[in-house]
Structure 1
């Protein structure tokens, strides 16, 4: 793990793998997770010819805890890391919360992104079902703060109980015991503000959008709407997978990513 002091005084911890001369990938994890969510990709992508940076986002992992949090704060965090590494343009990849952050970033700074990969995410919360998801998620973190991290770990064990999701189950059971629920409330409120689908329509950045099939048609459709908003996009539905697909079905996720990047 490496440490970077950001311009706003916060600290980013991140993992760096691969040859810095190779194209740089920045990996953005989901809510309640950290850079270790990307373990399958950290092991594989450097061998496929990529320089990989996997961050702990603000409010997560070893990076700074914060008193307030916005999508712009995370965008600044990404920019600070790219500047520190002397990287002008990156392949930006985000799953779940990381996908929201990636969409927000590319909408603001399209010139800094050569390719975009997002999965199991959303670009707006406009429908009743989507808005309720945002509200219930904030309420859920407040409840888990009262109930304790062991209850969240049990909830994760139930969510990822399918035989094909065992790697995700093991990871989330462990990481759930380390989370700061106040930070997760701030993070969830921040991603609930995303509203970029109209902005995405003006972008020409090549994009891959994916979604696991296990959360139902409405979740897949939410991701398809992102792909439909981008001028140059490809959509892949990943079988036997759910948020985060990179960890639940890394073989199918990586196959789609590497084919897209070639």
Structure 2
């Protein structure tokens, strides 16, 4: 076998390197592209905090990695009825919502300690910390907790929150069944506008419910004193028609007033005369 000279060895090694390096670069680029695509797919539809973001009142759905339903939340609004009076810094309100669960079961959905708030600067504060600082431990009246909701069920709830007045977003951190996902409801116009809007909608709904359509009932005929229903009575004067044939409201001179056994005014005018 012919031996290669040192010069030939160098040239051969260089050629191999020139062939292998582009291949390695291509593989590296392919791996990077794949990783980038995977990352983009997992973060699509979320904001910088990794949260699914919708306006208050809009539906939102959380699924697992296979696309199966974990939790659907609809009809979200804020209700301050039965809550502590608002202060200059905090508003206590019920977070009213309807949930639909999938196969995942947890101790409590929309747990108060899982809520947080975001202000205009992006600063985040936990609901539990706001509640403690404002000393708002007592819930609003008729506040409903979503405890032990069965899988594949629908339920209405209204956990009590203590919301900073400068909040622009209400967030919820869901951790259940191996799913870790944040959901954030934006407050267009701020908290005050959201509370006023939902209060107006509630008042309008209650007004509509209370307004009943006018019902038409058969009018009852009131017979004037001295008349007998069904016997040709004159409803204007109370004089039987056979006593006032000319309709002038006076008893005719030839009216059969004295006929029969009636010999007194009470008998003639009837029991109500």
Range into which the TM-score falls when normalised by the shorter chain: under 0.3
Q: Counting strand residues as a fraction of each chain, which structure ranks higher?
A: 2
TM-score normalised by length of structure 2? 0.20
- Which structure dedicates a bigger proportion of its chain to helix? 1
TM-score w.r.t. the length of structure 1 is 0.20
